[in-house]
Amino acid sequence: MRPSRRLFLSSLAALAVARPSWADAGSPAWLAAAKEGEDYRLHGLSETGESLFALPLPARGHAAAAHPTRPLAVAFARRPGTYALVIDCVTGAQTHRLTPPPGRQFNGHGAFASDGRVLYTSEVVAEGSEGRIGIWETEGFTRMGEWISGGIGPHDIKLTKAGLIVANGGIQTDPGDRTKLNIDTMAPNLTLLSKGGSILDQVSLPDLPQASIRHLVLTETGVAFAMQWEGDPAEVVPLLGHWVPGSAPVLFAAPEGEAHRMQGYAGSIARARDGRLAISSPKGGAVQVFAPDGTFLATHARADVCGLSALGAGFVTSDGNGGICALDQQVTPLAHHEAAWDNHMVALIL
């Protein structure tokens, strides 16, 4: 019995040692898509802005999802898209290519369950843009089912202990050319889905129905959300809000002159470790920072800035001119690449 038991334990130990981790991929801090010449790639970036790996994508990327323990990334096409690639970030190999069911399209974002066993993907029915949440197991990445998202055009999604929060942007788009078809009747909302897919809570912005809710970041009590204004360009509206499920959403407004600099567009959102919130605008070339209670703090100028995440006590940004910058009281360049960074810097929680 003893030799067999020793052999069994040795085999288990060998398997534990052999299982690759994010350290084997260089321990990246963020995943970010970029265009380089005519090529598209997914990068793993260090906290100093160094590219630790650059993996090819078949077309323009948007966001990515990082497995919590295994060095796997799922790169999503720009919405609406039909590819989501599962990439081994150690070897660079594409291990799986996810395809939505017929008549569906991926919508730019996804999220792993905390134990990594399930992947959730934001999707739309191509005709009409009705929202779906795809559910995939993560050993063979086969589809297990789907939920109704609770609205039109779901984009970002975040997992909480209570369930899945969905930013239903409210915009119906042409499945081929992204033309917006329902601006006059759009109805964005935030929806909390249970772990079984039922709607636990849902809120909208009845006074701002043309403020498309796009991106999310978790807070200690709920979720902060960033919006894109589809109404009259001359009208200046808040682009940041906070929602605690079970209560009404609260909007955070910058002074009118500062708000105008964002040109009605918040492309990314991030939360610093002290609770400050930041939103970015590539259209306005600006990042705005707010206190946890919604008090406006500052605007920082950076041309074509969009990617945004937490770094140390402050933030980090990426832009379409190849820059990676730290941002706290000022903007400090960290690195420069011959790349046009796309919308997001996805933080790895390791």
The helix or strand, by DSSP H or E, that contains position 13, with its residue range, turns out to be helix 2-18
Residue 262 has pLDDT above 90, yes or no: yes
Contact by Cβ (8 Å): 270, 257: no
Residue 15 has pLDDT above 50, yes or no: no
Contact by Cβ (8 Å): 336, 323: yes
Given pLDDT bands bounded at 50, 70 and 90, which one contains residue 19? confident
Residue 166 has pLDDT above 90, yes or no: yes
- Of the chain, the percentage scoring pLDDT greater than 70 comes to 94
d(Cα 291, Cα 262) in Å, to the nearest integer? 18
| Contacting residues for 1 by C-beta, under 8 A, at least 6 apart | none
**For 11-25, 164-178, 242-256, 285-299, which range has the lowest pLDDT when averaged over its residues?**
11-25
CA neighbours closer than 13 Å in the CB half-sphere of residue 262:
31
Q: In what order do the strands lie in the sheet with 268-271?
A: 268-271, 277-281, 286-290, 296-301
Residue 272 has pLDDT above 70, yes or no: yes
pTM comes to 0.92
Given pLDDT bands bounded at 50, 70 and 90, which one contains residue 334? very high
Q: What are phi and psi of 211, to 5 degrees?
A: -95, 100
**For 14-23, 117-126, 246-255, which range has the lowest pLDDT when averaged over its residues?**
14-23
Domains of the chain: 20-255 (2.130.10.10)
Residue 9 has pLDDT above 70, yes or no: no
Residue 320 has pLDDT above 90, yes or no: yes
Instruction: Tell me what pLDDT residue 349 has.
Output: 67
pLDDT tens-digit map of 93-129: 899 999 989 999 999 899 999 999 999 999 999 889 9
- For the residues 287-310, what does the mean pLDDT come to? 97
The helix or strand, by DSSP H or E, that contains position 257, with its residue range, turns out to be helix 256-260
d(Cα 215, Cα 212) in Å, to the nearest integer? 9
d(Cα 199, Cα 272) in Å, to the nearest integer? 29
Q: Virtual CA dihedral for 75, 280, 107, 176, nearest 10 degrees? A: -110
d(Cα 137, Cα 149) in Å, to the nearest integer? 19
- Residue appearing with tokens 């089912």: 145
d(Cα 132, Cα 100) in Å, to the nearest integer? 10
d(Cα 260, Cα 322) in Å, to the nearest integer? 25
Three-state DSSP class for residue 122: strand
**For 14-23, 103-112, 161-170, 260-269, which range has the lowest pLDDT when averaged over its residues?**
14-23
Contact by Cβ (8 Å): 170, 206: no
pLDDT tens-digit map of 182-198: 999 999 999 999 999 99
Instruction: Tell me what pLDDT residue 181 has.
Output: 86
- For the residues 313-326, what does the mean pLDDT come to? 97
Entry field: residues in the chain: 350
pLDDT tens-digit map of 77-98: 887 777 899 999 899 889 999 9
- For the residues 255-283, what does the mean pLDDT come to? 96
Instruction: Tell me what pLDDT residue 3 has.
Output: 47
- Residue appearing with tokens 């009409």: 128
On the 0-12 / 13-18 / 19+ scale of CB atoms within 10 A, 46 is middle
Most confident of the ranges 53-62, 74-83, 94-103, 270-279: 270-279
- For the residues 296-313, what does the mean pLDDT come to? 96
d(Cα 144, Cα 163) in Å, to the nearest integer? 18
